[in-house]
Structure 1
């Protein structure tokens, strides 16, 4: 999404031997960088949802590439929920939730029994499920859980980088995993152009993630771009350009979404939590085993991994991939119900 996330891949994989200019990419990152064989390529979207949506749409619809069997790894840094991760942790998501899409009221002006000033369109209070008729379609994406299972099996023994400085900051937390060594975790991410922070905001976003997925999502990381990228991917899938079922979402944690005991929210935000460098390093540490396995064992990956055929919300919250027949039939998903089988 921006240069530091990009740079961790360039030298190890010698990306940039081939550069492909693509009209419509970010002016800051106008080209796709590929290795000598053209097997591995990288693009950088630019930060926040508008950049991500515009750049990835330009890429996916470019005639310079045939993406019909391509795997995509969205790989970036983010904030983290101390009850699920710590700085340096690497997270692979099943769900991406656009948690800031809805109504907002300053909590100081909200009804006294409200715990947050955020509530969904079409509802009358926080944590109510919006229902099908109120979705825009970008609020929740579910990735291919069968592919996710294969990915988690590949990385289960990966040891991540850490630093004594990051450990020192984490020691302020009196519980694990916040004060523990970073590991690879399967949990879920929120998308918001606002960099929210603080216990009340973080709990609100976590509760929204749970409510909008009927209690299924496990909120652990924050991001700006993921729902935008996934919407572009879904529309390109509908156009026959690529396969949404080959997308993976990796976020590593560089800071906490709320303060540790003894610090105010502002003090925590302004402090150096020492997670930035290890978070960047661990993008590659967690991502490379997956990229390497797919590229160098292609015969076992070429045909793809079919998403579950049971009643899940694979794709977007409106279920358009299933209703358009781009995944196996017979899933029994009722798009008119307010609970879509997460």
Structure 2
């Protein structure tokens, strides 16, 4: 089968299209004929091996333990391993795995769910990580409820574009923060107001928000606190722009300690991949409350370009790779 493979950490140049052996499902796994794969920021981190903290999480100290890139997937079940009861050959599914930039991939049964019937494979493929992360940020960490004022930083990105829609679905008044080129996208997602951070400061209007979701990862806590209501909640999703060791994740790690002597709550989100949240997401998608915003679709051979396009911040919403 064809797959995007890397032998060493590095830039997109280390990724090569190769012929490799197709995987065989083990107990509790399903073999998926991949139709499309999503591109998330985590793919770049695993490709580059940065920050170094990523390598300590079990992905390989000196070289990638799993050589095939890609973690979001949508496709058709080809075969099932022993003990699998939720799926059978021919089912259309989506979820997370290791190595989705390939014609076939194996995924654990508890990491996938049936694909929303109203989505294409490309649309479904971009949701499993980004949308589930947004769901856990809005629903669980943020506790967003009807009538709250919610500020979403990075609203034009992968997680942010889903977070805007989810917060609206939960009845919040949503303000999105993004760059100039993404303003119209964020408006189209349902945001009540949009702040172009190249023109205005997030605290410039004097509005205080009940919940702030920061998916951009490069603002100091002191800046975010000024825009947060006295009893508000700040949720930090991931981290970008830091050094090679932690890559900005220190903000998430240190956030809870900043809450100790404050009425404001600061939370760092580490999302958990679960089929239960995929099923909850499917219900929202099929009800019309959420729709993936797919900016571009690249063929498998151009997966390195897709990763570069996303990492450079050019993507409006999500990027997919089609197989």
**TM-score (norm: length of structure 1):** 0.24
Decide which structure has greater strand share.
2
Query: Larger relative contact order (C-alpha < 8 A, sep ≥ 6)?
Result: 1
